[in-house]
Structure 1
Amino acid sequence: MGKMEQIMLLLISVLLLSTALPVSLCAQKPVAAPRKEDIPYIKCQVCEKLASQLYQQVQSKQAQISPKKISEYQIIEIAENVCNLKKEEADWILKIDIVEQGDKLELVEQEAEGICNTECKTIEKTCQEVMGYSDTDVAEYIYTSKPDIESLANYLCKDLTKACKTKPPPLPKDRTPGEPFVLKPTKEAEMEKMLRSMEGIPGAPSMKMYSREELMNKNFGEDADDDDEDDDEDQFPSNLGKALRNKDNKKGDWKQTIVKGMKDAGETLKRHATKVSFRVQKWWKGFKAARSKAAGKVEL
């Protein structure tokens, strides 16, 4: 099979797999809105932390792929994701608390992730405003100049974005205080990471997150009625929902149930992909045979 044929086969397999699994396991939880009026008071601080994160994550990626050299594309990918809370690169935002100190707002880094409320969304929004369309520019600078943290912060926050060109204004005395920083339960944080890691699986592009209570109360397609051949693929969300509601789970560790459900789902997707690939290969062979036969008749 030629290279073009392999690419075509892969594209068809992915297309068939993504249309065969339309069910999303999770739904998006409502989130708080950012306080846009707070952005001018924290913009410079957010930019400096953004520069630090870019530097650290690039260094971490380089260590991860060593001895290969990190590519400019990989740095651009980090820069594109570092202000997006749906991506792992933005997890740093979840550890920051906005604290009112006199007529200023200070960003105080915590030891663990907190529940994402208004302050979390405000930092994300500020980060996105700072980065704007500069992700490729800053990525190119990092790739070509290999700056230290201080040089990167000066370039990003003073030269490129002007986020730290002027001092923030004094905080209004009548500002409504933000919510307190609340640590996120460890199990919830781990589950969110597991769910997020499944977002790239074909057939589950819109996967979001349920709370623990939502997962335990959901009916995921229990009434679906399909062929026996595809029963495992169609029913795995329902089976996961049933397992979560099982009485025995209340006595055990619900995290283990989630992990098992994720593994079972992964195996089901893998089996389904193999089946689809086999069917496509069979179709392709038949198509080639028919084409060869037709060509032979034309020559005659």
Structure 2
Amino acid sequence: MKGVFWFLVVSVVIATLIPLSHCSKKPVGIARKEDIPYIKCQVCEILAKQLYQQVQSKKAEISPKKISEYQIIEIAENVCNLKKVEADWILRIDIVEKEDRLELVEHDSEGQCNSECKTIERACQDVMGYSDTDVAEYLYKSKHDIDSLFNYLCKDLSKSCNKKPPPVPKDRTPGEPFVAKSSKEAEMEKLLKSMEGMPGAPGMKMYSRDDLMNMKNFGGENEDDDEDEDDDGDTGFPSKLGKVLRSKENEKGDWKQKIRKGIVDTSTTLKKHATKVSNRLQRWWKGKKTASSKKSSKSEL
């Protein structure tokens, strides 16, 4: 019960730190569902490769422990979800028009997510469907390679590659060009994804770099620092992160470490305030119960 109470208090505190007006995001691309039949088999082929490689990487990461079926299920559930790191492979794929067909081309770096990115994500989800647990069980129980996994997923389960894709209509509107992200931007987005579900910060939303930089008074140099009732000297989360993002490249220290430190400091402060509020409420409740008990005793007399 105490844990639930603390969770609610911290959620309220975070909600006051980050107003709803800051939660707006820039428009994102919309999947072109009509393109899915032309790329579905290719997506399935890359998906099978990704599943195999990610499971192998997980095995190497936790060695000498044996990988569990739950860990494989987690990979299978997340591999088609762009909000998860397991689906970062989608950001490296470009849809290229070649005569009467569409071809998926893999780049070394991640690109900006537009309608093509969303289309590949949707095609991946169509391939996987409700078969993620079946695929996970297959990967867990059988000795497999990429080819056998491709046959199982793309021919037996989803039937994505059982027939040749139809020709692309001549009047199809071409997709957007592939625009690569900078290495810093890609690292920042990975860091933002890793913030989701962080202990000590329940309910924290993921913001893009542009969202963070556009926040009101985000890291302003002349803004007044509000003093809290305990004079902790801690500033708000957006302000701390903003100052880190605006720091020059020649400053000492790793910018990622500074961001992480800001998050940890903010989490500690939130927990401290939540504990104080909890203690005050508990004292108030005990006082109320004591007063009620005394009043009841007098009535009996």
Q: Establish whether residue 20 from structure 1 lines up as the match of residue 13 from structure 2.
A: yes
Q: CA deviation at 1:68?
A: 1.0
8 Å contact kept, 1:114–1:182: yes
Among 118, 124, 129, the residue aligned to 1:127: 124
Q: CA deviation at 1:229?
A: 3.1
Partner-residue secondary structure (3-state), 1:270: helix
Structure 2-normalised TM-score?
A: 0.79
Partner-residue secondary structure (3-state), 2:105: strand
8 Å contact kept, 1:216–1:244: no
Partner-residue secondary structure (3-state), 2:29: coil
Q: Aligned pair in 2 of structure 1 residues 102, 121: CA closer, same or farther (>3 Å)?
A: same
8 Å contact kept, 2:55–2:72: yes
| CA distance in structure 2 between the aligned counterparts of 1:27 and 1:198, rounded to whole angstroms | 18
8 Å contact kept, 1:232–1:268: no
Which segment drifts farther, 81-90 or 213-222?
Answer: 213-222
Root-mean-square deviation (CA, aligned residues, Å) is 3.4
Partner-residue secondary structure (3-state), 2:236: helix
Q: Establish whether residue 99 from structure 1 lines up as the match of residue 96 from structure 2.
A: yes
Which residue of structure 2 aligns with residue 207 of structure 1?
205
Q: Establish whether residue 118 from structure 1 lines up as the match of residue 115 from structure 2.
A: yes
| CA distance in structure 1 between the aligned counterparts of 2:152 and 2:46, rounded to whole angstroms | 13
| CA distance in structure 2 between the aligned counterparts of 1:60 and 1:181, rounded to whole angstroms | 28
Aligned amino acid, residue 178 of structure 1: G
8 Å contact kept, 2:10–2:202: no
Partner-residue secondary structure (3-state), 1:64: helix
Matches within 5 A, 1:184-263: 184-201=181-198, 202-212=200-210, 215=213, 218-219=216-217, 227-229=228-230, 235-241=236-242, 249=247, 252=250, 259-263=257-261
Q: Establish whether residue 33 from structure 1 lines up as the match of residue 30 from structure 2.
A: yes
Aligned amino acid, residue 208 of structure 2: Y
| CA distance in structure 1 between the aligned counterparts of 2:202 and 2:26, rounded to whole angstroms | 17
| CA distance in structure 2 between the aligned counterparts of 1:236 and 1:228, rounded to whole angstroms | 17
Which residue of structure 2 aligns with residue 48 of structure 1?
45
Per-residue Cα deviation, 1:30-55 (whole angstroms, up to 9, x for no partner): 21111111100000010111111111
Among 165, 182, 206, the residue aligned to 2:162: 165
8 Å contact kept, 1:233–1:272: no
Aligned amino acid, residue 270 of structure 2: H
Partner-residue secondary structure (3-state), 2:96: strand
8 Å contact kept, 1:27–1:208: no
Aligned amino acid, residue 235 of structure 1: G
8 Å contact kept, 1:31–1:117: yes
Q: CA deviation at 1:283?
A: 9.1
Matches within 5 A, 1:146-157: 146-157=143-154
Q: Establish whether residue 272 from structure 1 lines up as the match of residue 270 from structure 2.
A: yes
In structure 2, stretches of 5+ residues that fail to align are 290-301
**Percent identity (aligned):** 59
Counting matched residue pairs gives 280
Partner-residue secondary structure (3-state), 2:97: strand
Q: CA deviation at 1:67?
A: 1.0
| CA distance in structure 2 between the aligned counterparts of 1:67 and 1:251, rounded to whole angstroms | 40
